[in-house]
Amino acid sequence: MFRIHELLANWVVYNLLNLKAGERLTEAIHFFIYDTLKIFTLLVVIIFLISFVRSYFPLEKTRRILSRYKTFSYPLAAFLGVFTPFCSCSAVPMFIGFVEAGIPIGSAFSFLVASPMVNEIAIGLLLAIFGWKATLLYITLGLVVAVIAGIFIDTINPRSLIADYVFEIKIEHQEKERSLSIDERVKFAWSTVKEILSKVWLYILVAIAIGGFIHGYVPESLIENIMKKGNIWSVPLAVLLGIPLYSNSAGILPVIQALVNKGVPIGTALAFMMATTALSFPEFLILKQIMKTRLIVIFASIVGVSIIFVGYFFNFFLN
């Protein structure tokens, strides 16, 4: 599928730059060029397709769907989280909007977990880096984590742990729905592609550059000492290391690829990535505006344990 990208990278590295095969600098530059071509190609395709589908689910319609089918609100909320912007800065308004619409609080949390963790950026990058099997497994387990988190949150009856003003807010539903033509949906999808890439392209290039450096210069023995294949504590350690950091999928996945290439088990690497996207201090600070610390701790614990399980699952079946 990516043969043309590899041929182009080979031509640039070996013919245009006249670098020698096998050298560290050559390996690092080849990694950077090939991954840049491959990742950006898939990102454009995936973001366009998901944005096109998203045009059928504006926020007001999303709230109505979840309100109408409350019995299935957990998987629906998690699934709809895939089709939303991947930035966790939208957590507060989306959470308030769901609660105001009468959607179960746990379902709102399912959405909050799925939105940053399973989105078009993650899908595109995972597909480019690890292939469709790992991507499909990641999507499935990511949605399962989101659903489990939502169900557990609802079982503790968290109403008293959320700020009263959240339930008092009445959002004006001024979204004017109309049937869009195919051309309008295509324009919307392309505009979303441009908007997202304009925000993340530099982060992606920096991440790929870091990945190229790791690929070309960092000894495998150093990586293995940090996250050994046989170390049962490597997955929870990766989750703990990921929590203080903040990144989206675009910024962390190219680095994850380089770590996997150096021998880090894929489950350990993905657990680290999931922790940086779904469990981060900046997100907790945002959520602190609308809920008590106890609920944030419960939420983080449930998601953290679920991510650890996912990491072990990947290590067991894909290594």
CA pair distance 99, 153, nearest whole angstrom: 14
User: Residue 230 above 60 pLDDT?
Assistant: no
210-213, long-range: CB < 8 A, 24+ apart: 210/254, 210/255, 210/258, 211/31, 211/32, 211/35, 211/254, 211/255, 211/257, 211/258, 212/28, 212/29, 212/31, 212/32, 212/35, 212/258, 213/28
Residue 288 forms part of a structural domain:
yes
pLDDT top residue among 105 and 64? 105
Is residue 281 one of the residues assigned to a domain? yes
Would residue 131 count as lying in a domain?
A: yes
Residue 202 domain-assigned (yes or no): no
| Token digits of residue 314 | 């990947």
Residue type, 46: I
Q: Up-side HSE of residue 80: CA atoms within 13 Å toward CB?
A: 26
Is this structure's pTM higher than 0.85? no
Beta strands (DSSP E) in 174-269 are none
Structural domain contains residue 119: yes
pLDDT of residue 121: 66
Tell me the pLDDT tens digit for each residue of 260-311.
Answer: 777 788 888 888 877 877 776 666 776 777 788 888 888 888 888 888 988 8
Q: Tell me which residue range forms the domain holding 287.
A: 56-159+218-318
> Of 95, 87, 101, 136, which is closest to residue 251 (Cα–Cα)?
87
Residue 262 per-residue DSSP state? T
* Count of the separate structural domains present in the chain: 1
- pLDDT (tens digit per residue) in 194-223: 876 787 677 778 767 877 777 677 665 655
User: Is position 60 within any domain?
Assistant: yes
Report if residue 211 sits inside a domain.
no
User: Looking at the domain assignment, is residue 4 inside a domain?
Assistant: no
Place of tokens 């742990």: 161
Rounded Cα gap, residues 228 and 259, in angstroms: 12
Is residue 111 a contact partner of residue 82, using CB atoms and an 8 Å limit?
Answer: no
Checking if the pLDDT of 174 tops 50, the result is no
Q: Contact 203/255 with Cβ under 8 angstroms?
A: no
What pLDDT, on a 0 to 100 scale, did the predictor assign at position 173?
47
Could you report the per-residue pLDDT of 26-81, keeping only the tens digit for each?
Answer: 888 888 888 788 778 877 887 787 678 767 766 666 666 766 766 677 888 888 77
